[in-house]
Protein backbone atom coordinates (compact mmCIF):
# COMPACT_ATOMS: atom_id res chain seq x y z
CA UNK A 1 0.00 0.00 0.00
CA UNK A 2 1.28 3.46 -0.95
CA UNK A 3 -0.10 6.96 -0.48
CA UNK A 4 -0.86 7.03 -4.21
CA UNK A 5 -3.16 4.03 -3.65
CA UNK A 6 -5.12 6.20 -1.21
CA UNK A 7 -5.75 8.74 -3.97
CA UNK A 8 -3.61 11.42 -2.37
CA UNK A 9 -2.86 14.29 -4.75
CA UNK A 10 0.64 14.69 -6.20
CA UNK A 11 1.73 17.79 -4.24
CA UNK A 12 1.06 16.02 -0.94
CA UNK A 13 2.62 12.68 -1.96
CA UNK A 14 5.72 14.56 -3.10
CA UNK A 15 5.92 16.35 0.25
CA UNK A 16 5.54 13.01 2.03
CA UNK A 17 8.38 11.50 -0.02
CA UNK A 18 10.60 14.41 0.92
CA UNK A 19 9.96 13.47 4.56
CA UNK A 20 10.79 9.83 3.79
CA UNK A 21 7.22 8.57 4.14
CA UNK A 22 6.55 5.88 1.55
CA UNK A 23 3.88 3.66 3.06
CA UNK A 24 0.93 4.75 5.22
CA UNK A 25 0.66 3.45 8.77
CA UNK A 26 -2.45 1.41 9.70
CA UNK A 27 -4.30 4.41 11.17
CA UNK A 28 -3.52 6.42 8.02
CA UNK A 29 -4.52 3.61 5.69
CA UNK A 30 -7.86 3.20 7.46
CA UNK A 31 -8.76 6.81 8.28
CA UNK A 32 -7.69 8.76 5.19
CA UNK A 33 -10.19 7.22 2.70
CA UNK A 34 -13.15 7.82 5.05
CA UNK A 35 -12.13 11.38 5.81
CA UNK A 36 -11.68 12.07 2.10
CA UNK A 37 -15.21 10.79 1.50
CA UNK A 38 -16.57 13.19 4.11
CA UNK A 39 -17.37 10.72 6.91
CA UNK A 40 -16.94 11.45 10.60
CA UNK A 41 -14.24 9.25 12.13
CA UNK A 42 -13.76 7.88 15.64
CA UNK A 43 -10.15 6.67 15.76
CA UNK A 44 -8.38 4.85 18.56
CA UNK A 45 -4.66 4.24 18.24
CA UNK A 46 -1.51 4.15 20.34
CA UNK A 47 0.80 7.08 20.67
CA UNK A 48 3.20 7.36 17.74
CA UNK A 49 1.06 5.57 15.15
CA UNK A 50 0.79 8.50 12.74
CA UNK A 51 -2.53 10.00 13.79
CA UNK A 52 -1.51 13.54 12.79
CA UNK A 53 -0.98 12.62 9.14
CA UNK A 54 -4.18 10.56 9.22
CA UNK A 55 -6.25 13.74 9.63
CA UNK A 56 -3.89 16.41 8.26
CA UNK A 57 -3.60 14.88 4.78
CA UNK A 58 -7.38 14.69 4.13
CA UNK A 59 -7.92 18.21 5.48
CA UNK A 60 -5.23 19.65 3.21
CA UNK A 61 -6.45 17.76 0.17
CA UNK A 62 -10.10 18.73 0.62
CA UNK A 63 -9.33 22.37 1.36
CA UNK A 64 -7.05 22.53 -1.67
CA UNK A 65 -9.74 21.02 -3.89
CA UNK A 66 -12.35 23.46 -2.61
CA UNK A 67 -10.34 26.66 -2.91
CA UNK A 68 -11.93 27.70 -6.20
CA UNK A 69 -15.46 27.26 -4.84
CA UNK A 70 -14.82 29.10 -1.60
CA UNK A 71 -17.37 31.87 -1.13
CA UNK A 72 -16.53 33.28 2.31
CA UNK A 73 -13.36 34.05 4.22
CA UNK A 74 -12.65 32.57 7.62
CA UNK A 75 -11.14 29.56 9.37
CA UNK A 76 -12.04 26.39 7.48
CA UNK A 77 -10.42 23.76 9.70
CA UNK A 78 -9.88 23.64 13.46
CA UNK A 79 -7.60 21.17 15.25
CA UNK A 80 -7.71 21.09 19.05
CA UNK A 81 -4.78 19.63 21.00
CA UNK A 82 -4.31 19.36 24.79
CA UNK A 83 -0.77 20.76 25.10
CA UNK A 84 1.42 23.41 23.55
CA UNK A 85 4.01 20.84 22.51
CA UNK A 86 1.48 18.68 20.67
CA UNK A 87 -0.12 21.73 19.01
CA UNK A 88 3.30 22.87 17.75
CA UNK A 89 4.11 19.39 16.51
CA UNK A 90 0.81 19.23 14.58
CA UNK A 91 1.50 22.65 13.07
CA UNK A 92 4.93 21.47 11.93
CA UNK A 93 3.32 18.46 10.26
CA UNK A 94 0.89 20.70 8.38
CA UNK A 95 3.89 22.73 7.22
CA UNK A 96 5.65 19.59 5.98
CA UNK A 97 2.62 18.19 4.11
CA UNK A 98 1.28 21.42 2.57
CA UNK A 99 4.23 22.58 0.50
CA UNK A 100 2.95 24.10 -2.74
CA UNK A 101 -0.71 24.11 -1.73
CA UNK A 102 -0.87 27.79 -0.77
CA UNK A 103 -2.98 27.04 2.29
CA UNK A 104 -2.36 29.15 5.38
CA UNK A 105 -2.25 27.64 8.83
CA UNK A 106 -1.12 28.76 12.27
CA UNK A 107 -0.87 27.52 15.83
CA UNK A 108 -2.01 29.34 18.96
CA UNK A 109 -1.33 28.41 22.59
CA UNK A 110 -0.95 30.06 25.96
CA UNK A 111 2.16 30.96 27.89
CA UNK A 112 3.37 33.46 25.29
CA UNK A 113 2.26 36.91 24.14
CA UNK A 114 -0.91 36.84 22.09
CA UNK A 115 0.11 39.80 19.91
CA UNK A 116 1.98 37.85 17.18
CA UNK A 117 -0.88 35.36 17.12
CA UNK A 118 -3.60 37.98 16.73
CA UNK A 119 -1.58 39.75 14.04
CA UNK A 120 -1.49 36.55 11.97
CA UNK A 121 -5.17 35.90 12.59
CA UNK A 122 -6.05 39.33 11.18
CA UNK A 123 -4.34 38.43 7.90
CA UNK A 124 -6.64 35.43 7.51
CA UNK A 125 -5.90 31.70 7.76
CA UNK A 126 -7.38 28.44 6.49
CA UNK A 127 -6.34 26.05 9.27
CA UNK A 128 -6.07 26.79 12.99
CA UNK A 129 -4.30 24.48 15.44
CA UNK A 130 -4.97 25.49 19.03
CA UNK A 131 -5.02 24.57 22.69
CA UNK A 132 -8.44 25.10 24.29
CA UNK A 133 -7.52 27.82 26.81
CA UNK A 134 -5.88 30.28 24.42
CA UNK A 135 -8.51 29.60 21.75
CA UNK A 136 -11.36 30.48 24.11
CA UNK A 137 -9.50 33.57 25.27
CA UNK A 138 -9.08 34.88 21.72
CA UNK A 139 -12.66 33.94 20.87
CA UNK A 140 -13.91 35.97 23.82
CA UNK A 141 -11.81 38.93 22.64
CA UNK A 142 -13.31 38.69 19.15
CA UNK A 143 -10.14 37.61 17.36
CA UNK A 144 -11.44 34.17 16.38
CA UNK A 145 -14.74 33.16 14.78
CA UNK A 146 -15.59 29.52 14.09
CA UNK A 147 -18.77 29.89 12.03
CA UNK A 148 -17.00 28.94 8.77
CA UNK A 149 -15.28 25.78 10.07
CA UNK A 150 -15.78 22.80 7.75
CA UNK A 151 -13.46 20.34 9.48
CA UNK A 152 -13.06 19.86 13.21
CA UNK A 153 -10.44 17.55 14.74
CA UNK A 154 -10.23 16.71 18.43
CA UNK A 155 -6.86 15.08 19.04
CA UNK A 156 -5.78 13.25 22.21
CA UNK A 157 -9.33 13.48 23.50
CA UNK A 158 -8.63 11.32 26.54
CA UNK A 159 -5.83 13.63 27.65
CA UNK A 160 -8.11 16.63 27.11
CA UNK A 161 -10.49 15.26 29.70
CA UNK A 162 -7.67 14.24 32.05
CA UNK A 163 -6.48 17.84 32.02
CA UNK A 164 -9.92 19.21 32.84
CA UNK A 165 -10.67 20.73 29.44
CA UNK A 166 -14.19 19.29 29.12
CA UNK A 167 -15.97 22.64 29.90
CA UNK A 168 -13.73 24.52 27.45
CA UNK A 169 -14.31 21.95 24.73
CA UNK A 170 -18.06 22.21 25.15
CA UNK A 171 -17.93 26.02 24.84
CA UNK A 172 -15.86 25.73 21.68
CA UNK A 173 -18.13 23.10 20.14
CA UNK A 174 -21.13 25.35 20.77
CA UNK A 175 -19.62 27.91 18.37
CA UNK A 176 -19.01 25.44 15.54
CA UNK A 177 -21.42 25.05 12.60
CA UNK A 178 -23.81 22.13 12.94
CA UNK A 179 -22.84 20.97 9.45
CA UNK A 180 -19.20 20.01 9.58
CA UNK A 181 -16.95 16.97 9.34
CA UNK A 182 -15.44 15.77 12.60
CA UNK A 183 -12.48 13.57 13.44
CA UNK A 184 -12.18 12.29 17.02
CA UNK A 185 -8.90 10.64 18.05
CA UNK A 186 -8.08 9.04 21.38
CA UNK A 187 -5.82 6.36 22.84
CA UNK A 188 -8.31 5.11 25.43
CA UNK A 189 -12.10 5.03 25.63
CA UNK A 190 -13.38 5.59 29.17
CA UNK A 191 -17.09 6.30 29.57
CA UNK A 192 -16.56 10.08 29.50
CA UNK A 193 -14.80 9.83 26.14
CA UNK A 194 -17.57 7.72 24.68
CA UNK A 195 -20.19 10.22 25.83
CA UNK A 196 -18.23 13.13 24.34
CA UNK A 197 -17.81 11.30 21.04
CA UNK A 198 -21.54 10.52 20.89
CA UNK A 199 -22.31 14.22 21.26
CA UNK A 200 -19.86 15.23 18.52
CA UNK A 201 -20.01 12.62 15.79
CA UNK A 202 -22.66 11.82 13.20
CA UNK A 203 -22.71 8.19 12.03
CA UNK A 204 -18.95 7.88 12.53
CA UNK A 205 -16.71 5.26 11.02
CA UNK A 206 -15.05 3.42 13.91
CA UNK A 207 -11.35 2.77 13.38
CA UNK A 208 -9.20 0.73 15.77
CA UNK A 209 -5.56 -0.04 15.17
CA UNK A 210 -3.71 -2.54 17.37
CA UNK A 211 -5.23 -3.79 20.63
CA UNK A 212 -6.38 -0.95 22.85
CA UNK A 213 -3.82 0.03 25.47
CA UNK A 214 -1.27 -2.53 24.30
CA UNK A 215 2.36 -1.46 23.91
CA UNK A 216 4.33 -2.22 20.77
CA UNK A 217 5.79 -5.73 20.79
CA UNK A 218 9.24 -4.34 20.04
CA UNK A 219 9.42 -2.61 23.44
CA UNK A 220 11.57 -4.62 25.87
CA UNK A 221 9.90 -4.04 29.25
CA UNK A 222 11.29 -4.68 32.71
CA UNK A 223 10.66 -3.55 36.29
CA UNK A 224 12.92 -3.32 39.34
CA UNK A 225 11.55 -3.50 42.86
CA UNK A 226 13.39 -0.82 44.79
CA UNK A 227 12.93 1.14 47.98
CA UNK A 228 11.75 4.69 47.34
CA UNK A 229 14.86 6.21 48.93
CA UNK A 230 17.09 4.08 46.69
CA UNK A 231 15.57 5.09 43.36
CA UNK A 232 18.14 7.79 42.70
CA UNK A 233 20.99 5.32 43.19
CA UNK A 234 19.18 2.76 41.06
CA UNK A 235 18.87 5.32 38.28
CA UNK A 236 22.61 5.95 38.34
CA UNK A 237 23.22 2.21 38.19
CA UNK A 238 20.90 1.85 35.19
CA UNK A 239 22.88 4.48 33.29
CA UNK A 240 26.11 2.67 34.16
CA UNK A 241 24.84 -0.76 33.10
CA UNK A 242 22.67 0.08 30.07
CA UNK A 243 23.75 1.42 26.69
CA UNK A 244 21.50 4.47 26.71
CA UNK A 245 21.65 6.76 23.70
CA UNK A 246 18.65 8.92 24.62
CA UNK A 247 16.17 8.55 27.46
CA UNK A 248 12.83 9.99 28.43
CA UNK A 249 12.36 9.75 32.21
CA UNK A 250 8.91 10.12 33.75
CA UNK A 251 8.11 11.48 37.20
CA UNK A 252 4.72 12.14 38.74
CA UNK A 253 5.44 15.71 39.81
CA UNK A 254 7.18 18.82 38.49
CA UNK A 255 9.26 19.01 41.67
CA UNK A 256 10.37 15.42 41.20
CA UNK A 257 11.35 16.11 37.59
CA UNK A 258 13.57 18.97 38.68
CA UNK A 259 15.25 16.84 41.36
CA UNK A 260 16.00 13.95 39.00
CA UNK A 261 17.41 16.40 36.45
CA UNK A 262 19.75 18.02 38.99
CA UNK A 263 21.12 14.68 40.16
CA UNK A 264 21.73 13.47 36.61
CA UNK A 265 23.65 16.64 35.79
CA UNK A 266 25.80 16.10 38.91
CA UNK A 267 26.99 12.74 37.58
CA UNK A 268 27.82 14.19 34.18
CA UNK A 269 24.70 13.28 32.20
CA UNK A 270 23.20 16.06 30.07
CA UNK A 271 19.58 16.34 31.19
CA UNK A 272 16.77 18.87 31.25
CA UNK A 273 13.30 18.89 32.80
CA UNK A 274 10.11 19.81 31.00
CA UNK A 275 6.87 20.58 32.81
CA UNK A 276 4.14 23.17 33.20
CA UNK A 277 6.20 25.54 35.36
CA UNK A 278 8.75 26.02 32.59
CA UNK A 279 8.37 28.96 30.22
CA UNK A 280 7.39 28.22 26.66
CA UNK A 281 10.83 29.30 25.47
CA UNK A 282 12.52 26.95 27.94
CA UNK A 283 10.28 24.06 26.91
CA UNK A 284 10.98 24.58 23.23
CA UNK A 285 14.72 24.89 23.84
CA UNK A 286 14.67 21.66 25.86
CA UNK A 287 12.75 19.77 23.17
CA UNK A 288 15.01 21.03 20.43
CA UNK A 289 18.13 20.02 22.35
CA UNK A 290 16.65 16.58 22.94
CA UNK A 291 15.73 16.13 19.29
CA UNK A 292 19.13 17.20 17.96
CA UNK A 293 20.94 15.02 20.55
CA UNK A 294 22.75 17.82 22.38
CA UNK A 295 20.75 16.72 25.43
CA UNK A 296 20.76 13.02 26.32
CA UNK A 297 17.94 12.87 28.84
CA UNK A 298 14.58 14.59 29.04
CA UNK A 299 12.79 14.36 32.39
CA UNK A 300 9.06 15.01 32.07
CA UNK A 301 5.67 14.81 33.71
CA UNK A 302 2.88 13.08 31.81
CA UNK A 303 1.03 16.23 30.79
CA UNK A 304 4.18 17.95 29.54
CA UNK A 305 5.26 14.86 27.60
CA UNK A 306 2.32 14.91 25.21
CA UNK A 307 3.58 16.03 21.85
CA UNK A 308 7.12 14.77 22.35
CA UNK A 309 7.96 12.91 19.16
CA UNK A 310 11.61 11.91 18.86
CA UNK A 311 13.12 9.52 16.34
CA UNK A 312 15.19 6.61 17.64
CA UNK A 313 14.49 7.11 21.34
CA UNK A 314 16.33 4.20 22.94
CA UNK A 315 14.91 4.22 26.49
CA UNK A 316 11.87 5.22 28.49
CA UNK A 317 12.39 5.09 32.25
CA UNK A 318 9.49 5.24 34.69
CA UNK A 319 11.19 6.72 37.74
CA UNK A 320 7.70 6.65 39.26
CA UNK A 321 4.85 4.48 38.02
CA UNK A 322 1.71 6.27 36.84
CA UNK A 323 -1.51 5.88 38.79
CA UNK A 324 -3.57 5.33 35.62
CA UNK A 325 -2.58 2.05 33.89
CA UNK A 326 -3.19 3.37 30.36
CA UNK A 327 -0.69 6.14 31.01
CA UNK A 328 2.05 3.50 31.26
CA UNK A 329 1.30 2.47 27.68
CA UNK A 330 1.38 6.09 26.52
CA UNK A 331 4.74 6.59 28.20
CA UNK A 332 6.53 3.57 26.78
CA UNK A 333 4.97 4.20 23.36
CA UNK A 334 7.51 6.98 22.88
CA UNK A 335 10.14 4.34 22.09
CA UNK A 336 10.14 1.51 19.50
CA UNK A 337 8.59 3.64 16.77
CA UNK A 338 8.74 3.20 13.01
CA UNK A 339 9.96 -0.39 13.25
CA UNK A 340 12.72 0.36 15.76
CA UNK A 341 13.17 -1.55 19.01
CA UNK A 342 13.23 0.16 22.39
CA UNK A 343 13.59 -0.41 26.11
CA UNK A 344 11.21 0.54 28.92
CA UNK A 345 12.50 0.32 32.50
CA UNK A 346 10.32 0.93 35.55
CA UNK A 347 11.10 1.40 39.23
CA UNK A 348 8.50 0.09 41.67
CA UNK A 349 8.54 1.08 45.35
CA UNK A 350 6.37 -0.59 47.97
CA UNK A 351 3.62 2.04 47.72
CA UNK A 352 3.49 1.59 43.92
CA UNK A 353 2.76 -2.13 43.96
CA UNK A 354 -0.96 -1.52 43.42
CA UNK A 355 -0.22 0.56 40.32
CA UNK A 356 2.05 -2.16 38.94
CA UNK A 357 -0.64 -4.77 39.51
CA UNK A 358 -3.16 -2.67 37.57
CA UNK A 359 -0.67 -2.13 34.74
CA UNK A 360 0.01 -5.85 34.46
CA UNK A 361 -3.72 -6.54 34.22
CA UNK A 362 -3.82 -4.26 31.19
CA UNK A 363 -0.93 -5.93 29.35
CA UNK A 364 -0.91 -9.19 27.37
CA UNK A 365 1.74 -10.49 29.77
CA UNK A 366 3.23 -9.24 33.00
CA UNK A 367 6.33 -7.04 32.94
CA UNK A 368 9.54 -8.97 33.54
CA UNK A 369 10.92 -8.45 37.05
CA UNK A 370 14.69 -7.94 37.20
CA UNK A 371 17.19 -7.47 40.00
CA UNK A 372 20.04 -5.00 40.09
CA UNK A 373 23.14 -6.34 41.88
CA UNK A 374 23.44 -4.83 45.34
CA UNK A 375 19.82 -3.68 45.57
CA UNK A 376 17.37 -5.60 47.71
CA UNK A 377 13.70 -4.70 48.04
CA UNK A 378 10.94 -6.75 49.61
CA UNK A 379 8.85 -8.18 46.79
CA UNK A 380 5.07 -8.63 46.89
CA UNK A 381 5.18 -12.41 46.98
CA UNK A 382 6.12 -14.05 50.28
CA UNK A 383 7.60 -16.91 48.26
CA UNK A 384 10.34 -14.69 46.90
CA UNK A 385 13.57 -15.41 48.73
CA UNK A 386 15.62 -12.40 49.75
CA UNK A 387 19.33 -13.09 49.93
CA UNK A 388 21.76 -11.57 52.37
CA UNK A 389 24.14 -9.36 50.41
CA UNK A 390 27.05 -7.21 51.55
CA UNK A 391 26.48 -3.52 52.00
CA UNK A 392 27.16 -1.40 48.94
CA UNK A 393 28.81 1.99 49.27
CA UNK A 394 26.51 4.88 50.03
CA UNK A 395 24.60 6.08 46.99
CA UNK A 396 24.52 2.62 45.37
CA UNK A 397 21.51 1.15 47.07
CA UNK A 398 20.70 0.23 50.64
CA UNK A 399 19.78 -3.38 51.54
CA UNK A 400 16.60 -3.83 53.50
CA UNK A 401 18.24 -6.60 55.56
CA UNK A 402 20.95 -4.65 57.32
CA UNK A 403 23.88 -6.13 59.30
CA UNK A 404 23.57 -6.22 63.05
CA UNK A 405 24.91 -3.25 65.01
CA UNK A 406 28.04 -5.07 66.19
CA UNK A 407 28.92 -6.29 62.69
CA UNK A 408 27.94 -3.15 60.84
CA UNK A 409 30.89 -1.31 59.26
CA UNK A 410 31.61 2.17 60.46
CA UNK A 411 29.70 4.82 58.52
CA UNK A 412 31.91 7.21 56.53
CA UNK A 413 32.07 10.70 57.91
CA UNK A 414 32.14 12.40 54.50
CA UNK A 415 30.02 12.05 51.43
CA UNK A 416 32.92 11.34 49.11
CA UNK A 417 32.54 11.97 45.40
CA UNK A 418 29.16 10.29 44.92
CA UNK A 419 26.58 13.05 44.36
CA UNK A 420 23.77 10.77 45.56
CA UNK A 421 25.40 10.18 48.96
CA UNK A 422 22.94 10.57 51.86
CA UNK A 423 20.72 12.93 49.90
CA UNK A 424 17.03 12.92 50.52
CA UNK A 425 14.72 14.01 47.73
pLDDT at 404 exceeding the cut of 60:
no
Contact at 8 Å (CB) between 78 and 152? yes
Domain 219-370 carries which CATH code? 3.40.50.300
pLDDT category, 224, cuts 50, 70, 90? Answer: very high
Which superfamily does CATH assign the domain made up of 4-208 to? P-loop containing nucleotide triphosphate hydrolases (3.40.50.300)
For the chain, which residues make up each domain, given as ranges?
Answer: 4-208, 219-370
pLDDT category, 47, cuts 50, 70, 90? Answer: low
- Tell me the per-residue pLDDT of 111-123, one tens digit each, with 9 for 90 and over: 899 999 999 999 9
Kindly report the three-state secondary structure assignment for every residue of the chain: CCCHHHCCCHHHHHHHHHCCCCCCCHHHHHHHHHHHHCCCEEEECCCCCCHHHHHHHHHHHHHHHCCCCCCCCCCCEEEECCCHHHHHHHHHHHHHHCCCCCCCEEEECCCCCCHHHHHHHHHCCCEEEECHHHHHHHHHCCCCCCCCCCEEEECCHHHHHHCCCHHHHHHHHHCCCCCCEEEEEECCCCHHHHHHHHHHCCCCEEEECCCCCCCCCCEEEEEEECCHHHHHHHHHHHHHHCCCCCEEEECCCHHHHHHHHHHHHHCCCCEEEECCCCCHHHHHHHHHHHHCCCCCEEEECHHHHCCCCCCCCCEEEECCCCCCHHHHHHHHCCCCCCCCCEEEEEEECHHHHHHHHHHHHHCCCCCEEECCCCCCCCCCCCCCCCCCCCCCCCCCCCCCCCCCCCCCCCCCCCCCCCCCCCCCC
Report the C-alpha gap between 91 and 108 in whole angstroms: 10
Pick the more confident residue, 285 or 210: 285
Residue 258 pLDDT: 94
Short-list 407, 338, 412, 417, CA closest to 46? 338
Residue 90 pLDDT: 92
Residue 409 pLDDT: 44
Q: Do 4-208 and 219-370 have matching folds? A: yes
Model confidence pTM above 0.85: no
Top-ranked range on mean pLDDT: pick from 4-8, 82-86, 186-190: 4-8
- Tell me the per-residue pLDDT of 287-316, one tens digit each, with 9 for 90 and over: 889 888 899 999 998 766 655 667 778 999
Mean pLDDT across 231-251: 93
Residue 22 pLDDT: 79
Pick the more confident residue, 345 or 164: 345
Mean pLDDT across 377-404: 40
pLDDT category, 71, cuts 50, 70, 90? Answer: low
Mean pLDDT across 258-286: 88
Contact at 8 Å (CB) between 400 and 378? yes
- Tell me the per-residue pLDDT of 126-180, one tens digit each, with 9 for 90 and over: 999 999 999 999 999 999 999 999 999 999 898 888 788 999 999 999 999 999 9
pLDDT category, 397, cuts 50, 70, 90? Answer: very low
Top-ranked range on mean pLDDT: pick from 17-26, 105-114, 372-381, 396-405: 105-114
Report the C-alpha gap between 150 and 173 in whole angstroms: 13
- Lowest-pLDDT choice from 18-32, 37-51, 124-138, 382-396: 382-396
pLDDT category, 198, cuts 50, 70, 90? Answer: very high
Residue 338 pLDDT: 60
Amino acid sequence: MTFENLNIIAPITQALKQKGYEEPTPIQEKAIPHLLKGSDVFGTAQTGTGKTAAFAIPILQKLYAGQADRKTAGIRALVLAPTRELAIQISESFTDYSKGLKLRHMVIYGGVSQNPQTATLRKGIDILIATPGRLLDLMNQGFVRLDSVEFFILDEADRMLDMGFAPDIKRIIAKLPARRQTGFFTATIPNEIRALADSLLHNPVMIHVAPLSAPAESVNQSVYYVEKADKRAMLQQVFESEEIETALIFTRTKHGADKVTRELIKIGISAVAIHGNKSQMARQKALQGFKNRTIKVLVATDIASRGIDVDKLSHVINFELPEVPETYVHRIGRTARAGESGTAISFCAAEERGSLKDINKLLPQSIEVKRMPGFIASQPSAAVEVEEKPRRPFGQGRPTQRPSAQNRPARPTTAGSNPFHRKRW
